[in-house]
A and B are shown apart, each in its own frame.
Chain A
Amino acid sequence: MIEIDKISKTYDGVTAVDEVSMVVDTATITVIVGTSGSGKTTLLRMINRLVEPSSGEVRINGEATHTVAKTSLRRRIGYAIQGHGLFPHYTVARNIGTVPTLLDWSQEKIDTRVDELLDLFSMQPDKFRDRYPAELSGGQQQRVGVARALASRPDLLLMDEPFGALDPIIRAHAQKDLRHIQRTLGSTIMLVTHDMEEAIQLGDRVAVMDAGRLVQYGTPAEIIQQPATEFVAKMAGGVERPLRLLSLYPVSDIIEEGTAEGEPLDANTCLRDALSICLWSGRDVLPVVNEGVPAGRVTLAAIRARAEGPT
């Protein structure tokens, strides 16, 4: 559990982060979202003390971060950034092994861990281990960057716009991978982004920052349905809010008895995609299959009902 307790940062009288408090549960993804200059990156960098807080404290599993030496604190916290920041003169294996090397793991243990991580990120160890970052594609570099951050099994993984430099298709793929890996490893992740779409897709909880303050902290559905301020409502997508809301739920949530004509839909499809298929194919009702077995149907009316905002 990460507890952020009334943390502030002031630069020459200008407040960048203003008394932010929040609690992050273990094994969840928390996304901090805000416009540029909202203080979101400063907040993240105060957790591993790349920026020293002016006041307040951060506790990781009960231990205050200012009681630990900066370097040992950072070796316990994974850190992945936009543009990956890989060491160009190190091979992929040495890049991933950076923190384990600093922690004096045996070479054998490091090698095993590197191969394990490369496998996890679907990069064949034999093929990629000895390559240099310049020989990889943008998506592969980004994956190595995240693998490097996870190498020492950190208590917490901090990510600052990790997908910012990727094109949309690779980006969507990387987000899905991150979700999958987080579920597999049970990691605790705090991620900063300016993209609300990304926040809603990835976050178990979303924290919205504006002008140095934490204006709302809640589940993606809460952020969309009950925005605390005008600013949050605008960030949450304005007129696109119903579609974002639908993207949060799978078809299996509103499945009903019965059958329907046409191409069936998988039960894990999100409601936004189901709506899109309804509109595109001109159907009011779609058949649903679960792992290939017919499971019922979903109606346009039911989808509409889930997209309604509070009245």
Chain B
Amino acid sequence: MKLAMIFRTALVALLLALVIKPIWFTWAFAPLAPEKGPIIYERASLLSLSLSHLGLVSLASVAATLVAVTLAILVTRPAGAAFLPLSRTITNMGQTFPPVAVLALAVPALGFGTGPTLVALFLYGLLPIFENAITGFSTLPPATMEAARGLGLSRWQRLIRVEIPLALPVILTGIRLSVVIALGTATIGSTVAARTLGEVIIAGLLTHNTAYVLQGGLIVGLFAVLIYDALVQLEAMLVNKYSA
């Protein structure tokens, strides 16, 4: 446990250093850069790219969570049960569409920049959250739900006080998967001029500069690992509280 904490702190420190003071790592990336070429990406600050990257991912994930969870709630009500297969098909389609194709299709409609990237991330993020939320809402303990009805909780009170809190750990698992996928996928957004860490990687690919590619990749990877870990901790906290 203690060792995990030390490791975690070290990774956070490494990530912060890479983002804020990339110049410290010149020695490490130098062997990978082309001769006499630039070593550290300096066309934009890595910090502002990271913030913009994270901002895009959070915005898309929040929207995907709201839509997917609302949809899951609706189709797990008796009145909405008929729409379950249809909504499954729609979210599945969101997942089967390659994000690059979504970008290509969205650009004519939304122009270059943030818009198409947000759409792609949003569509891509729906499925894991939706599927998990469905599982969460349809596997609630039957005795507890029966008691909630029998004690006189209204539909709305059952949803807010019982169903959502009990389904939350499973829903969080879906959000975690979705966020991690979005963190990686967002890099592709830079091909349509969204400001993400993908910019660094693409610049590296275009100029045959492996140092750039590695910098961009390393930062995105570290964000993914740390955010994944933080969400796992959050789920564990929720579950431990009431299923000791």
- Residues of A whose CB lies within 8 Å of any CB of B are 48, 50, 70-75, 79, 81-89, 98-99, 102, 132-135, 145, 148-149, 158
> Is B152 touching A73 in the complex (CB atoms < 8 A)?
yes
Contact with A along B89-109 (1 / 0, CB 8 A): 000000000000000000000
Inter-chain CA distance A49–B203, complex, in Å, is 67
Inter-chain CA distance A148–B148, complex, in Å, is 11
Say which residue of A82, A89, A132 sits within 8 Å of B165 (CB atoms): A89
With A79-B147, A85-B143 as known contacts, state yes or no: A71 contacts B154, CB within 8 Å. yes
> Is A48 touching B150 in the complex (CB atoms < 8 A)?
yes
User: For window 122-150 of chain B, which residues contact chain A by CB distance below 8 Å?
Assistant: 141, 143-150
> Is B152 touching A133 in the complex (CB atoms < 8 A)?
no
Contact sample, A vs B, 7 pairs, CB 8 Å cutoff: A50-B146, A70-B152, A85-B141, A87-B144, A88-B144, A88-B242, A135-B244
Q: With contacts defined as CB atoms under 8 Å apart, how many contacts are there between chain A and chain B in the complex? A: 71
Residues of B within 8 A of A70 (CB): 152
With A88-B166, A89-B165 as known contacts, state yes or no: A79 contacts B242, CB within 8 Å. no
> Is A132 touching B150 in the complex (CB atoms < 8 A)?
no
- Would you call B70 an interface residue if the criterion is a C-beta within 8 Å of the partner chain's C-beta atoms? no
Say which residue of A73, A81, A89, A135 sits within 8 Å of B147 (CB atoms): A81
Say which residue of B141, B146, B152, B157 sits within 8 Å of A88 (CB atoms): B141
Inter-chain CA distance A242–B121, complex, in Å, is 75
Residues of A within 8 A of B150 (CB): 48, 50, 74, 79, 81, 85, 158
User: 3 nearest interchain CB pairs?
Assistant: A85-B147, A74-B152, A79-B150
> Is B152 touching A72 in the complex (CB atoms < 8 A)?
yes
With A87-B162, A88-B141 as known contacts, state yes or no: A75 contacts B244, CB within 8 Å. no
Inter-chain CA distance A132–B224, complex, in Å, is 34
